[in-house]
Amino acid sequence: MTGRGGRLDDDGFRRFVVAQRQSLLRTAYLLAGDHGHAEDLVQTALLKTYRHWARVTAKGDPTAYVRRALVNEHTSWRRRLSSTEQVVETLPDVAAAAVPDRDEEMVRALRELPPRMRAVVVLRYLEDRSEAQTAELLGCSVGTVKTQSSRAMARLRELLTPAEREAGRR
């Protein structure tokens, strides 16, 4: 990519990043569980998209491509981290940290889920994607998405404190 065409492509890519990155970071944060890894995931997904930018944009909206790259990177990254898919990590802790709030509880609960199940939850319930869209992004069947979604809901019910049980939490 050189010359004027390259610069036009770069401008288009920059506009795409500005339009999409916030949303990508939110998804990546819930997938990864911490800011640093979320930013790494998004940058890697954007780089993979940019490598094929001309081809991707020629086929239409590059949003689906970068989302697929993000999810694939997340699941493959998790595989690299642990063969057992039971990654244990925590949010950054600070001295005299406050009582964990409900957002933190949500992030911690997500980290208890296997990576693909976590991806199903994030795609279905954060991004409001249909079962078919989620299956396409994850490269699996709709039936698998249904199964993973059902198991995730059951697991999250165990991990999350419902509002009515908040009494006396402090």
Instruction: By CB under 8 A, tell whether 64 contacts other proteins.
Output: no
Instruction: By CB under 8 A, tell whether 122 contacts other proteins.
Output: yes
- If the CB atoms of residues 25 and 64 are measured against other proteins, the closer one turns out to be 25
Instruction: By CB under 8 A, tell whether 55 contacts other proteins.
Output: no
Instruction: By CB under 8 A, tell whether 61 contacts other proteins.
Output: no
CA 19 to CA 104: how far, in whole Å?
A: 27
Q: Which residues touch 29 (CB under 8 Å, ≥6 apart)?
A: 35, 38, 107
Instruction: By CB under 8 A, tell whether 159 contacts other proteins.
Output: no
61-to-26, 127, 156 alpha-carbon distances in Å: 20, 17, 34
Instruction: By CB under 8 A, tell whether 81 contacts other proteins.
Output: yes
Three-class secondary structure of residue 70 per DSSP: helix
Work out which of 4, 58, 95, 158 binds other proteins, going by CB under 8 A.
Answer: 95
Q: How many residues does the chain have?
A: 170
Instruction: By CB under 8 A, tell whether 10 contacts other proteins.
Output: yes
Q: What is the DSSP string of 99-135?
A: PP-HHHHHHHHHHTS-HHHHHHHIIIIIS---HHHHH
Q: List interacting residues with other proteins (CB under 8 A).
A: 10, 13-14, 16-18, 21-22, 25-30, 34-40, 42-43, 46-47, 50-51, 81-82, 86-90, 92-99, 101-104, 106-107, 110, 121-122, 125-126, 128, 153, 156-157, 160, 162-163, 166-170
